Amino acid sequence: METFSKTLQHATDFQPVEGDLEGTCCMCGEHTTHGNKKKFGNNFTCADYISSGDVICPYCQHLVSNSNKYRRTMFLLTEDSFKPFKKKDIKEIIFNLPSDKDFYLYLTKTWQKLGYILMNHARNSAGTKDITCIVDYNIITFTLPDLQEKYELCKRLREYKISKEVLETASFEVHHYRRLNEAYGNIKTRQLINKVNSYKNNPVWDLAIYICD
Ligand SMILES: [Zn+2]
């Protein structure tokens, strides 16, 4: 499978940005004789997020030069299509990922981080069960059945006007108990709440909450 920036080039046919430095690209790890100076935007401490390497290759340089375009959207990339999308489309995209093609998936909660520089950590081969995506600067791996189950639970609890914050922190209050109790009865309510408790700090649970309305 090709690196993220080369796959993007195939899909969108952008013009690579050629420099004259030889070295290893700090984003994709490829050797190049047309590298560019390793320089990112202001206020970005790249050391925490990028691999070793001394230049930026012509393909990855396109990303850095068009940073605003790539950090202000979510996207799904396959070898023949680059699909930017917004929050409202996330469920549709994530539950209908391509099964017969390699793909890269980028999600964001901030719409400003340079998370795209981590895309090479999130290559998905066609038909994989373990899906890896980047969410801002986080790498998250999940299976669809697991995400689906957590999403359904989240949706169910959201119907009882339980806030996303309560779901994330499992900080239920008396009035939440009461509302669920009326609908589900005591035993079922305890089960639901125990489940949410066990999902605390689980990145797939946090993702399920994020994609839920
Ligand atoms: Zn590169």
Judged by average pLDDT, the poorest of 35-49, 50-64, 179-193 is 35-49
Q: Look up residue 198 and give its amino acid.
A: S
Q: Find the 96 Cα to ligand 1 centroid distance in Å.
A: 29
Predicted confidence (pLDDT) at residue 130 exceeds the cutoff of 70: yes
Q: Tell me the CA–centroid distance for residue 58 and ligand 1, in Å.
A: 7
Q: Please tell me the distance between residue 205's alpha carbon and the centre of ligand 1 in angstroms.
A: 32
Give pLDDT, residue 48: 67
Whole-number pLDDT of residue 192: 95
Residue 126 is predicted with a pLDDT of: 95
pLDDT at 139: 95
- The CA 24 to ligand 1 mean position distance, Å, reads 8
Percent of the chain with pLDDT over 90: 90
Provide the residue count of the chain: 213
Res 33 pLDDT > 70: yes
Average pLDDT over residues 79-106: 97
Centre of ligand 1 from the C-alpha of residue 76, in Å = 19
Distance 40 CA to ligand 1 centre (A): 13
Tokens describing residue 79: 């070898």
| pLDDT at residue 40, rounded to an integer | 79
Distance 37 CA to ligand 1 centre (A): 12
Residue 50's pLDDT is 74
- Is the pLDDT confidence value at 41 over 80? no
How remote is the CA of residue 156 from the centroid of ligand 1, in Å? 43
Q: How many Å lie between the centroid of ligand 1 and the Cα of residue 175?
A: 53
3-state secondary structure the chain: CCCHHHHHHHHHCCCCCCCCEEEEECCCCCEEEEEEECCCCCCCCHHHCCCCCCEECHHHHHHHHCHHHHHCCEEEEECCEEEEECHHHHHHHHCCCCCCCCEEEEECCCCCCCHHHHHHHCCECCCCCCEEEEECCEEEEECHHHHHHHHHHHHHHHCCCCCHHHHHHCCCCHHHHHHHHHHHCHHHHHHHHHHHHHCCCCHHHHHHHHHCC
The pLDDT score that the predictor gives to residue 1 is: 80
Query: Average per-residue pLDDT in the chain?
Result: 94
Gap from CA of 144 to ligand 1 centroid (Å) = 30
Buried-state track 123-138, b at ≥16 Cβ within 10 A, e below 16: bbeeeeeebebbbbee
pLDDT of 47 strictly over 70: no
